[in-house]
Amino acid sequence: MSIGSNSPEDERPFQDESEENRPSVGRALKQARIAAGLTVDEISGSTRVRIAIVHAIEADDFAPCGGDVYARGHIRTLAKAVGLDPEPLLAQFSAEHGGGRPAPTPAAPLFEAERIRPERRGPNWTAAMVAAIVVVVGFVGFTAFKGGDGSDAKQSVAEGATPTASKPASPTPKESKPDKAPAPSDSAIAAAPQDKVTVQVSATNGRSWISAKDHNGRMLFDGLLKKGDSKTFQDSSKINLILGDAGAIQLYVNGKKIEDQFQPGAVERLTYTKGDPEVG
């Protein structure tokens, strides 16, 4: 028996029995899930961690997580879902997989791979239709506005032209060229040409309607002579007269005064030629 010597069993390193009996990270998560009465589908639905990854983690296979950073994030999420404190599990994972506690990673890229992306929406046809309607209404309004301006301008021009157009309020009827000539004097009547018939009609005693035509039946005058008015007609061969009130009229034919005594109010139809003052 040697004093102070140790047996080989005494040289074995000290081991904590609690660590030997402690379940793995995946087994601890699975036991806690079963104890909570939850299925893998329910855990996946509440944590948004895919079912395949949940099964892999519970089997202590962290490769599908895509790296230690993502594995730690899934462990933390699953631990909270089953009612476990995630810190001891994260420490155990770091001890088993080395590397110690990783540097903090922003939460956004951590779960980017597992985030449920929104469905892609098609084009917003309602907004497009509303925009098209607005454009059409604007174009119609602009066209109507421009058209209204044009009509107003035309109306203004028309209104401005009204006074000019209304200058000749009641234009007098045109008379034949022989009527425009002034009544000849006695000397002019005396010098009437011999190759034509010349008749002067004067309303000396009142007014009278008269009508005068040439030898072709062309109307030379048809109207009312007021008292004091006079008309002279000339033709190459014949003048036909109608006197509405012969008593108011004095006639000169080929420079000679007709002495016939016409009765007031009497209607006379007369014809004179180059050889008169004899009634034809």
H helix intervals, the chain: 17-21, 25-35, 40-47, 51-58, 68-82, 86-97, 107-110, 125-165, 177-180, 186-190
pLDDT score, position 14: 46
pLDDT score, position 254: 86
Q: Show the domains of the chain with their CATH numbers.
A: 20-110 (1.10.260.40), 178-273 (2.60.40)
- With the C-alpha atoms ordered 143, 146, 150, 155, is the resulting torsion angle positive or negative? positive
The Cα 187–Cα 201 span in angstroms is: 16
The Cα 239–Cα 73 span in angstroms is: 132
CA torsion 7-9-12-16 (nearest 10°) is -130
pLDDT score, position 240: 94
pLDDT score, position 103: 46
Please state the φ and ψ torsions of residue 141, each to the nearest 5 degrees.
-60, -40
Please state the φ and ψ torsions of residue 233, each to the nearest 5 degrees.
-125, 150
Per-residue pLDDT 10s for the chain (280 aa) are 444 444 444 444 444 545 667 889 999 999 999 999 999 999 999 999 999 999 999 999 999 998 999 999 999 999 999 999 999 999 999 988 865 454 454 444 444 444 555 556 666 778 888 888 988 888 887 777 666 555 454 444 444 444 444 455 555 555 545 444 444 455 445 557 888 989 999 998 889 989 999 999 999 999 998 999 999 999 998 999 898 888 889 889 888 898 877 888 889 899 989 878 764 4
The Cα 223–Cα 257 span in angstroms is: 23
The Cα 98–Cα 68 span in angstroms is: 10
pLDDT score, position 259: 83
Residues 6+ positions from 79 with CB-CB distance below 8 Å: 29, 32, 85, 86, 89
pLDDT score, position 191: 59
